[in-house]
Amino acid sequence: MKREARWCVALVMGTLLLSGPARSQEPEATAVADPKAAEEDRQLREQTIYIPYENLRKTFEKEGRGVFLPYEKFRQLWDAARAAESQPAEAPRRAALIAEIDSEASVRNDVVEVRAKLQIEVIGKGWHEIPLRLADAAITEAQIDGRPARLLADENQGCRLLVENADEKSQKLVLNLVYAKGISKTPGQNSVAFQAPQAPVNRWKVRIPEAGVKVDIQPMIAATEVVEEKPAAEPADESPDNPGEEKAKPQEPSPRETVVLAFVGAAPEVRIAWTPKAEGATGLAALASVQAEQQVFIGEGVTRTRSQLAYTISRAELSQLAISVPGDQKVVNVFDANVRQWSVEAEGQRQKITVQLFEPAKGSQNVTVELEKFHEAAGPAEEPKTDETSGKAGLGTIPLRVPVVEAVGVGRQQGVVVVQVEEGLRAEASRRVGLVQVDAAELPAALAKTPWGFSYRYVSVPYELTFDVEKIEPRILADTLVEATLEPTRLALTVATIYRIERAGVFRLELDVPEGFTVRSVQGRNVGEAQPVQVDTYHQAGDDKGRLVVSLAKKAMGPVGLMVFMDRHLEHPELQTPTGKTATIPIPVPLVPAATLERATGRLVVYAPESLRVNPVEPKGLRSVSLEEAIAGMASTRGGSRGVLAYVFGEETPSLAVQAERRKPQVTVQQVLVARVEDGVTKYELSLFYEVLYSGIKSLRIDIPEAVAGLLRNNTKTVREQAIDPAPEDLTEGCIAWSLTGATELLGSGRIDLSWESKMEKLEAGSSVPIDIPRIRSMGVDRSWGQIVLTKAETIDLSESEKMSGLRPIDPQRDLIGGMKVDGAVRAHEYHDDWEFQITATRYDLEDIKQTSIAKALLRMVVMRSGKTSVQALYRIRSSDQRLELRMPERSDFDADPKIDGRSVTMETGQKQSYFIPLLGTSEDNSFLLELRYTLTDTRLPIAWPEFPTQPAVQKVYLCVYLPEEVDLLETTGPWTREFHWGTNWMGQFEPQNTVVVGSDTVGSWPRAIVEAQSIPPAQRNDAVVERLFDWVTESASRPEAFSTDGQLYVFSTLRPESPVDGGLRLLTIRRWYVDTAALIVVVVLGLLLLPMRCARRACVFGVLAIALVFCAIYWPLAVWNLCDLTLVLPLLIVAGLWGIQFLVWTLPRCLREWHSARPGKEPAAKAAPASEPVPDEPATAESAEKAGDQDQAQGGRDNG
């Protein structure tokens, strides 16, 4: 309601405001002229108010005016206004920018003037500042459309252009800018740098008023040089002073200038540098001098010259060079970076080379000229050098004249001439004019690095230098190793030659080939210290093909090696079969031709197999040496072959023949007979190891017992067996002769395997049967011997019978032929002659034994205050099983995987806390260490350990139990031995002391006597005990990871423990404060109860208690020892203190009173007693004293109570 009332008040006020102005618009004259109308206006009446919509803005847009509309109309107007509202345009990123700049720089005296045309685009509306930079230049003119531009100056940023854009649209302007800067001059170079305006497109045209000036613009992205003619002078205008009179026109044409067009991009600085043109000596010719370096290379059939001419030019420039060379030389090349082209023309006996340059040379210019001349090759040096009739050079020497390269038109030419002669040629200076020979050290640095044969210096041209050139014949020394291999069907020769080539290299090597031999291969080899030659091709020359010519791919020089293989076929029956006859075979020696050598030496080695007997016949030119001496310094290609003859030879031509004979075969047979005795059968395996030397045989003969022949099997696939029919005359009675034949002749070493089985009657337990070992004889051999190896089943025992002869026992593990191994061999015998062997086989029944044994075990159990027990179990086990079954105690959890010798293994889970541990990587011969770590969650049960259901053989087990310090051990039950005794510590308290000694007289690292003497602290003594137990169970191998312990250690042991159910260890423990509190209460209460009693009675009571304590110590020693410490001493001291107070307060004063009453001064009082009661003195005194004492005791008891 309040809100509606407010709106009503506002509506009334608005109506009044609107009505007031409406009346004020009426003419004032009308109101004055018509008073009646004015009076009517004062009356209240209904009026209609019109709102001028046409002049709404003019009428109401004033202070104090207002418009009131219905809300619906206002909403329509508001939505229409919002819809008609225009979105503001996106403002440009840059208000103004310089799009393109064209600059033209002109050098005017000492100033560089730049005329730049800047294309500017103003994008935003309003005033804008455009940076022009140019802080280091002077602006002489700046115009936009012919009007001066507005420039703002800044010391740091340079100049800025101020422009206005009155329209919203972008505006393009062109600024014509002229600025200048002074030239920086340095010796030989002028430069100027501008901080010019920046734009993406920035073109510069640089004009230098000199022709051929090298201009450098930085940065220079792209540039080109344009040579322009300056435009001709325009007609002169009339003189302002004298109309009609023309200005004077220049008579000479305008000079040329250098124009460079470059694109520099948006560079922060533009630098222009150029070298000013030197005027020189105007009107004078150029003055040049030449320093020459001429290199002459004399080869076989060709002479090449390379001359480097270094010009030094002054006074003027040279646009071309002229060089004179001999007419018999071929100009190969003239080159330099500034050489544009060159041409050669003949001038008499010489040639003139004209060299055109790209740019006229001034200061210096280098030119290199290469010449070449072909001539006849020089002959050998051994040919005569001069003709006896004419005295001119002979056929072996060629005169060569060094060409003179002369620079034409120079004032002076001097230089050096160096000559290098190709290897294999000899040169000697025969004529020298105008030259001085110099040392190599005096040559320029560039030439001093090369070894030159001759070096000269000259100071002027022409000069003359002539050489006599002759070819050097090589000096060759040959050392040859000939290895002849004699075989029954072939004679092979291997010729290894070391050539020592001096003076000059060669491209061809030769070797004499014996008649009838064929060359199989020729190749370079590292023979001794010589490098291999590079063989290109080879062929046999001559009508009889007796000369081997080897062409080399590379010139051979120094020590080089060549190896040639050749052979010849032999047809001598005496060498193929042992006929007892000899054959004479010549052994030729291939030699290097003497015409190509200066000296030759050699060695000859003859190789032959053992099947041939070789003897020399008439050796000539040969000297016999040992085989080692013959091949010394040269690598033999017949390593391992049998050398029979060795010789050395020199200059004399060697010859050798040998007599060869085929040796008879030598056959050795070794037999290994393995007899495997099993239940109901005996299996035989016969291995024949044969060795045939010298000559092959077609077959081996063996005699087999008739009982065995039908059972014998041949296990060698490459050997065929066949019964010999008809039987040989020397056949053993009761045997059959077999022939063993291979695919080829039997030669060398081999093996033949035979096997068979012999059945026997089944043996009962305890029964025996004799077994005769059959004998197989090797016939037709030079030597035969063998061995017999016996194996058996586990239930059978073998023994030797009386029928045994010709055999001796050997070790079946070490002494078998060829290192042969027979699994399960129990006995072995060896024979060399005839033998006989019978054995007795007896059967026994097997008894099962345990497959697993635990030799040592150590268990450490830590009882924690939380009620759980942490256990570490270590077992030294030996087992033949593949996996070990394990049953864990109830309410136990594994803390880690089991470990075997420190290696974690994964268990297989069974039923009811059963697990299977795989024994991978273990063997039955070696023991291993098994580690288990688990936690028992219930300590109320007997102390249990893992159980092995297979019931392995367990030896000694140690158990280390750690109890908290606040717990006392009262009693233990179970078949366990306590490995500790009670002793006192430094405080006099009783405590358990572990003194375990395992296998030695030390505990850990402490001697036993020291440990028992309690000379070390208990903690260290316990650590020593545990350390010794660790060494005992781990056998000094790597120890397991650390196992944390805490509390008092108690050590127990047992031998062959029972299962945890029957042989478990129970510990009766109690909290220590329970024992202390009970002892304190019992002793103190008992002491208080004994206060009224006499000392004798007190002593009697405590005596009875002591006897009871000793009696309890017999049956419960642990409880008594835990009680007999400070816990019992403290209440005893309290009782003793109470009794002492009683004595001081009551007993001592009473005694003093009695003592005073018994003094002599008191006797008359005693006599005053009635005489009617006479009592004897002594009895009366004793009885009265006892009564008095009882009364005092009673009185004291009442007082104490």
Contact residues for 1018 (Cβ-Cβ < 8 A; gap 6+): 985, 991, 993
**Range scoring the smallest mean pLDDT among 17-26, 333-342, 451-460, 758-767:** 17-26
| pLDDT tens-place string over residues 116-155 | 999 999 888 888 888 988 888 989 999 998 899 998 888 7
Q: How confident is the model at residue 11 (pLDDT cuts 50, 70, 90)?
A: very low
**Range scoring the smallest mean pLDDT among 393-407, 716-730, 944-958:** 393-407
Record the tokens describing residue 834, joined without a space: 């005839």
CB 589 within 8 A of CB 496: no
Residue 495 CB-density burial (10 A; 0-12 exposed, 13-18 middle, 19+ buried): buried
**What does the pLDDT average to over 710-734?**
90
End-to-end CA distance of the chain: 100
Name the one residue in this structure whose structure tokens are 């009356």. 43
Q: Give me the pLDDT at residue 1193, please.
A: 43
B/e letters for 26-48, b = 16+ CB within 10 Å, e = fewer, are eeeeeeeeeeeeeeeeeeeeeee
For 699, half-sphere exposure in the C-beta direction (CA atoms, 13 angstrom radius) is: 12
B/e letters for 1019-1057, b = 16+ CB within 10 Å, e = fewer, are eebbbbbbebbbbbbbeeeeebeeeebebbbbbbbbeeb
Q: How confident is the model at residue 874 (pLDDT cuts 50, 70, 90)?
A: very high
Distances (CA, A) of 946 to 404, 873, 894, 939: 111, 8, 11, 15
pLDDT: which is higher, 652 or 243:
652
Beta partners for residue 482, in sequence order: 495, 604
Q: How confident is the model at residue 242 (pLDDT cuts 50, 70, 90)?
A: very low
Q: Give me the pLDDT at residue 1158, please.
A: 78
Q: Give me the pLDDT at residue 54, please.
A: 64
| pLDDT tens-place string over residues 284-297 | 778 899 999 999 99
- The identity of residue 1120, as a single letter, is V
Is 778 a residue whose pLDDT tops 80?
yes
Q: How confident is the model at residue 991 (pLDDT cuts 50, 70, 90)?
A: low
Pick among 2.60.40, 1.10.443, 1.20.20, 1.10.3470: CATH of 475-662 = 2.60.40
Query: What is the secondary structure of 293-309 as a DSSP string?
Result: EEEEEEETTEEEEEEEE
Q: What is the C-alpha separation between 144 and 173, in angstroms, rounded?
A: 7
666-843: which CATH topology? Immunoglobulin-like (2.60.40)
Record the tokens describing residue 767, joined without a space: 């029964």
CB 534 within 8 A of CB 552: yes
Q: How confident is the model at residue 277 (pLDDT cuts 50, 70, 90)?
A: low
Q: Give me the pLDDT at residue 407, please.
A: 94
Record the tokens describing residue 468, joined without a space: 């006599």
Q: What is the C-alpha separation between 413 and 435, in angstroms, rounded?
A: 13
Record the tokens describing residue 793, joined without a space: 């089943």
CB 553 within 8 A of CB 535: yes
Is 665 a residue whose pLDDT tops 50?
yes
**Could you say which DSSP state residue 997 is in?**
-
Q: Is 808 helix (H, G, I), strand (E, B) or coil?
A: strand
**What does the pLDDT average to over 23-52?**
48
**What does the pLDDT average to over 415-433?**
91
Q: Give me the pLDDT at residue 457, please.
A: 95
| pLDDT tens-place string over residues 439-468 | 988 999 889 889 999 999 999 999 999 999
Name the one residue in this structure whose structure tokens are 């070298």. 275
Q: What is the C-alpha separation between 252 and 165, in angstroms, rounded?
A: 52
CB 136 within 8 A of CB 196: no
Beta partners for residue 400, in sequence order: 467
Record the tokens describing residue 951, joined without a space: 């019931």
Is 897 a residue whose pLDDT tops 70?
yes
Q: Give me the pLDDT at residue 1172, please.
A: 41
Q: Give me the pLDDT at residue 494, please.
A: 94
Residue 69: count of CB within 10 angstroms of its CB: 11
Contact residues for 890 (Cβ-Cβ < 8 A; gap 6+): 913, 938, 941, 944
Pick among 1.10.287, 1.10.8, 2.60.40, 1.10.3470: CATH of 852-1064 = 2.60.40
CB 1057 within 8 A of CB 875: no
Residue 23: count of CB within 10 angstroms of its CB: 10
Give the distance, in angstroms, between the CA of residue 1092 and the centroid of all CA atoms in the same chain: 94
Q: Give me the pLDDT at residue 552, please.
A: 92
Q: How confident is the model at residue 33 (pLDDT cuts 50, 70, 90)?
A: very low
Q: Is 283 helix (H, G, I), strand (E, B) or coil?
A: coil
Q: Give me the pLDDT at residue 576, please.
A: 84
Q: What is the C-alpha separation between 292 and 463, in angstroms, rounded?
A: 13
| pLDDT tens-place string over residues 367-377 | 999 999 998 77
96-231+253-274: which CATH topology? Immunoglobulin-like (2.60.40)
| pLDDT tens-place string over residues 686-720 | 999 999 988 888 899 999 999 998 899 999 999 99
- What is the overall mean pLDDT for the chain? 81
| pLDDT tens-place string over residues 558-617 | 999 999 999 999 988 888 888 888 899 999 999 998 887 888 899 999 999 888 899 998
Q: What is the C-alpha separation between 451 and 442, in angstroms, rounded?
A: 13
**What does the pLDDT average to over 915-944?**
82
Residues of the chain above pLDDT 70, percent: 81
Q: Is the peptide bond before 942 cis (omega within 30 degrees of 0)?
A: no
Q: Give me the pLDDT at residue 26, please.
A: 38
**Could you say which DSSP state residue 1144 is in?**
I
Tell me which long-range contacts 17-26 makes (C-beta under 8 A, separation of at least 24): 17/64, 17/65, 17/66, 18/49, 18/51, 18/66, 18/68, 19/47, 19/49, 21/65, 22/49
| pLDDT tens-place string over residues 642-662 | 889 999 998 888 999 999 999
Q: What is the C-alpha separation between 809 and 828, in angstroms, rounded?
A: 6
Is 1144 a residue whose pLDDT tops 70?
yes
Q: Is 56 helix (H, G, I), strand (E, B) or coil?
A: helix
Q: Give me the pLDDT at residue 233, please.
A: 41
Q: Give me the pLDDT at residue 93, please.
A: 67
Q: Give me the pLDDT at residue 416, please.
A: 96
CB 118 within 8 A of CB 150: no
φ, ψ of residue 1053 to 5 degrees: the values are -145, 155
Q: Is 725 helix (H, G, I), strand (E, B) or coil?
A: coil
Query: What is the secondary structure of 369-435 as a DSSP string?
Result: EEEEEE-PPP-BTTS-SB-TTT-SB-TTEEEEEPPP-EEET-SEEEEEEEEEEPTTEEEEEEEEES-
Q: Give me the pLDDT at residue 1056, please.
A: 82
| pLDDT tens-place string over residues 186-233 | 877 889 999 889 898 889 999 988 877 888 888 877 767 665 444 444
**pTM of the predicted protein model:** 0.44
Q: Is 357 helix (H, G, I), strand (E, B) or coil?
A: strand
